[in-house]
Every structure is written in structure tokens, then in C-alpha cells.
């Protein structure tokens, strides 16, 4: 159950981070409105807050989060950017998620 809850929280965290970084990218690279910086700021603040909800030490949280971020970013690449993912993309995401799972399963009873 810990692994499932942690993964779901990490996915929400990754989406908040990606949106918070994507909106300034759209503004700077695609000439959109600078008003996009407002929701980007809110999204990045949400990202930071979500990271604080984990019971493990921050270094473990960041390390485990990285695996979910990789997989979420690739799904973003597919869904938002419309880029077809390769077998190597999916394999890399799977390995990253396996690494996250190993780290999270090691959290039990540790700060």
C-alpha cells in the first residue's frame, strides 16, 4: 500500500513540476503570454508542497521521486508533445520505476 500511495503522490508531484516548467517554456519559446508565469508559479509551489508530504528523509524522497519523474515526463512527451515513444524509452522508464520502488520499499522504519 505504501508503494501505491507513494507512487500516486509522486505522479501528482511530477505533473505539478512539469506544468510549472512547461508554461514558462511555452511563454519563452512559443511566444505565448507572460501571464502563463502565474499558473506556473502556483504549479511549482504545489510541487514543493507535495514533496514535503513524504515521511522519509528528503534525500530519499528526491532519489525515489526521480524515477517517477522520468516515467511521467515520457508520458508527457507522448501525450502533450505527440512524440511516439520507443522501446528504449519504455525500458528506461521501467528501470527508473524499479529503482523508485526499491528505494521506497527501503523506507520502512527509516527517517
Beta-carbon contacts of residue 56 (< 8 Å; ≥ 6 apart): 64, 104, 107, 110, 111
Residue, of 23 and 51, whose pLDDT is higher: 23
Given a cut of 60, whether residue 111 has pLDDT beyond it is no
Average pLDDT over residues 22-32: 94
Q: What pLDDT digit, counting tens, does each position of 62-101 carry?
A: 898 999 999 999 999 999 999 999 999 999 999 999 999 9
Q: Band the pLDDT of 49: cuts 50, 70, 90.
A: very high
Mean pLDDT of the chain: 92
Average pLDDT over residues 15-33: 95
Amino acid at each position: 500500500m505504501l508503494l501505491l500511495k507513494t507512487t500516486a503522490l509522486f505522479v501528482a508531484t511530477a505533473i505539478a513540476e512539469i506544468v510549472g516548467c512547461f508554461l514558462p517554456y511555452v511563454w519563452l519559446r512559443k511566444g505565448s503570454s507572460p501571464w502563463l508565469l502565474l499558473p506556473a508559479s502556483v504549479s511549482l509551489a504545489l510541487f514543493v508542497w507535495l514533496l514535503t508530504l513524504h515521511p522519509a528523509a528528503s534525500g530519499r524522497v528526491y532519489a525515489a521521486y526521480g524515477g517517477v519523474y522520468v516515467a511521467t515526463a515520457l508520458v508527457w512527451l507522448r501525450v502533450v508533445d505527440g512524440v511516439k515513444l520507443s522501446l528504449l524509452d519504455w525500458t528506461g522508464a521501467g528501470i527508473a520505476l524499479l529503482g523508485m520502488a526499491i528505494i521506497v520499499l527501503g523506507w520502512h522504519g527509516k527517517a
